[in-house]
Amino acid sequence: MKRDSTELTENKTFEKVSFGEENLLQGVYEECRFIRCNLEYTDLSGITFRNCTFNNCDLSLATLRETGFQEVHFSDSKLLGLQFCDCRELLLEFEFEQCMLKLSNFQRLNLKNTQFTDCNLQEADFTGTDLTGATFQNCDLLRTTFDHTILEKSDFRTAYNFSINPETNRIRKARFSLTGVVGLLDGYGIEIE
């Protein structure tokens, strides 16, 4: 089925809706709220979300080919294994609060000043990503990949379980707590007591 990429839906609230083959999303969604919706495995390719909020939704393993997220807020949502790197990069801007983002891929995106608050980012991939000024407030970064990542002025003071190699990442003026500095020394095989 061919989707209408220009249909505009404004100021609408979708609550407890399961999207999929029978309940397709298409076009542009502006100032819409998605509450307790199931978008798991849903194909969101080519759809644009502007100034939308997703609260308590499941978007796990959704397809994001050329999906536009412009000023989108995700809270209390499950976003497992999402390939954010497939999103349309033009005006890409989102923030995450209390979200499950395990195994999500953010490779090579420009995510300057992105806010991650109380999120589980275990095994997420930020290879080649620009995270200048990003905040990881109280986030679990166990086995998260930072490689050739720009982390300048980013805030890791309350993040935990991270391992960041200062030799392969740009970390100038990034902020870390004294206990978090251990995560910068992992690659050296030293023991700190």
DSSP string, 28-70: EEES-EEES-B-TT-B-TT-EEES-EEES-B-TT-B-TT-EEE
Closest to 5 in 3D by CA, of 31, 37, 27, 35: 27
Q: Which residues pair with 69 in a beta bridge?
A: 49
pLDDT tens for 18-60 read 997 777 899 999 999 999 999 999 999 999 999 999 999 999 9
Q: What pLDDT digit, counting tens, does each position of 71-106 carry? A: 999 999 999 999 999 999 999 999 999 999 999 999
Q: Cβ distance 150 to 130 under 8 Å? A: yes
What is the distance of C-alpha 91 from the center of its chain?
15
**Conformational region of residue 175, where left means phi above 0, alpha means psi within -120 to 50, and beta covers everything else:** beta
Mean pLDDT of 160-166: 96
The structure tokens listed for 187 are 């690659």
pLDDT classification of 182: cutoffs 50, 70, 90? confident
Residue 182's φ and ψ, nearest 5 degrees, are -55, -35
Residue 169 has pLDDT above 90, yes or no: yes
Give the per-residue pLDDT at 70.
98
- C-beta of residue 34 within 8 angstroms of C-beta of residue 54: yes
Give the phi and the psi of residue 13 in degrees, each rounded to 5: -110, 125
Instruction: Report pLDDT for 1.
Output: 39
| pLDDT at site 54 | 98
Residue 4's pLDDT is 55
Q: What structural domains does the chain harbor?
A: 106-193 (2.160.20.80)
Q: How high is the pLDDT of residue 163?
A: 95
